[in-house]
Amino acid sequence: MTTARDIMTTAPRCVGENETLVDAARLMASLDVGALPICGDDKKLKGMLTDRDIVVKCLAEGGDPASATAGSLGQGKPVTVSVDDDIEDVLEVMKRHQIRRVPVIEDHELVGIISQADVALSLAPEEAGETVAEISS
């Protein structure tokens, strides 16, 4: 059985919930990623932040990314999977919620991220293509 642990990207970098959106954007640029988990001082996942969130929810509304915090854009309870979840269950979560990245949790702490790229690299081409199409539709 393939689990989330088997395909996840480990040791994900977080942006702190009190860090500014400028800090988050710089971290995204340095890591060459378009999304980051938002973590609290307690090291627990508070949400996800995308480059699109920064543009649409801050800049387009006239907000100041130098003063707005990452935590201010983390809304609702983030969708997550467990490190020991079967990959089929993970794919179902991604499809159902139409999310391209899902945080992986173990003992209430963030331990990894599964992205569409991780899915594509670990599954048979037909299954990966089908999954990516369903997530993106």
Question: Over the stretch 38-51, which tens digit does the pLDDT of each residue have?
Answer: 998 887 889 999 99
pTM of the model: 0.82
Residue that wins the pLDDT comparison between 74 and 70: 70
Phi, psi (deg, nearest 5) at residue 37:
-70, 145
The reported pLDDT for the residue numbered 137 is: 66
SS3 content of the chain, % helix, strand, coil (to 5): 45, 25, 30
pLDDT digits (tens, 9 = 90+) for 122-136: 777 777 667 667 776
The reported pLDDT for the residue numbered 74 is: 78
Calculate the average pLDDT of the chain: 89
As a whole number, mean pLDDT of residues 11-36 equals: 94
The reported pLDDT for the residue numbered 70 is: 96
- pLDDT of 116 > 90? The answer is no
| Domain architecture of the chain: domains with CATH | 4-136 (3.10.580.10)
The reported pLDDT for the residue numbered 135 is: 72
